Amino acid sequence: MTKLWKNQAFTISHADDGKFEGAGLRAFFEYRDLGIKNATQGKFGAHVIRAVPGIESPGAWHSHNLDFQMVYVTKGWVVFEYEGQGEHILREGSCVLQPPGIKHRECHHSDDMELIEIISPAEFDTLDETAP
């Protein structure tokens, strides 16, 4: 049995052990789970997201039913548009906190784009939205 400290287990994720999968929220991205969901019993989630080269985003507006969503770009660039905030180019080293329920869309990205996303809870609903 895994030992828990305040309902969390110790976990480490190494890039050379990690596997990207295309079974995530968006078909134009691949996802590498960082083990945070299991270690926190679903209270938090974290993964590395990278672009699938040659596949563009359809730019669909959506929102997420969650409590916390932070994105940190580690490589390349990505353009997001946010309700009431306009378009923003996030590049290597950029970080954004997306408030719960904010309507947004991914407009464009570089083929080499990678980012880290931290969310709470780990499982959440995504809703299709009309443009704000």
Distances (CA, A) of 56 to 3, 17, 25, 119: 43, 28, 14, 24
Extract the tokens encoding 25.
């929220």
Indicate the SS3 state at residue 96: strand
Q: Tell me: the pLDDT tens digits for 42-66?
A: 999 999 999 998 888 888 999 999 9
pLDDT given at position 20 = 84
Q: How much is the pTM? A: 0.88
Q: Tell me: the pLDDT tens digits for 67-121?
A: 999 999 999 999 999 999 999 999 999 999 999 999 999 999 999 999 999 999 9
Q: Domain map of the chain by residue range?
A: 29-128
The domain over range 29-128 is classified in CATH as 2.40.30.10: no
